[in-house]
Amino acid sequence: MPFKGFRVRFATTNKGKLREISLLLSEYSLEVEAVEAEKLEIQDDEIIRIAEYAASDLAGRLGYPVAVEDSGLHIEALNGFPGPYSSYIYRSIGLKGVLKLLEGVEDRRGFFESVVAYAEPDGRVRSFRGIAWGWISQAARGTGGFGFDPIFIPEEGDGRTFAEMTLEEKNRLSHRGRAMRSFGEWITSTQA
């Protein structure tokens, strides 16, 4: 019997993230519904623990399965910073602040990490991780995407930042795309 798809509830208020997730999961005949519930975000050095805790807490409180996606930019010259603190750093110092931290730094290698955590109300949690390696650009470029997209050049790309790509191009190379495809493959295989 072929998989007919169903709705996946994602806890996010980030409209850019929701567009990416919806497009990626549509490839698996999955419909995405945004859940606008307050996520409990613990402080931790590991994105996977932050996402799993938030998903588990939400599923328990809401009484239905829910997914959470958390991500971070890890810059090697800054010992992995900002990592799990990426959202706060973006809000507080922005792209210009990160670029200022890297002034005079030659090794601008880093990676984006994405974790999708899917939790059931009974406490079961599954996680899916995606990584995209690349470099931090010298200046912000592009108007697409969101967050740190204008300063991240994926190594598998053609020298453009994520913000210079179409959504479809970014999704083929991105950390979120990889995590979402793993999640999509898993959930469609378990729901078939």
How many CB atoms are closer than 10 A to CB 69?
28
Contact 60, 39 (CB under 8 A): no
CB count within 10 Å of CB 122 equals: 8
**What is the spatial distance between Cα 74 and Cα 113, in angstroms, rounded to a whole number?**
8
Check if the beta carbon of residue 180 is closer than 8 Å to that of residue 23: no
Catalytic residue among 70, 107, 149, 158: 70
- Specify whether 149 is catalytic: no
Catalytic residues: 70
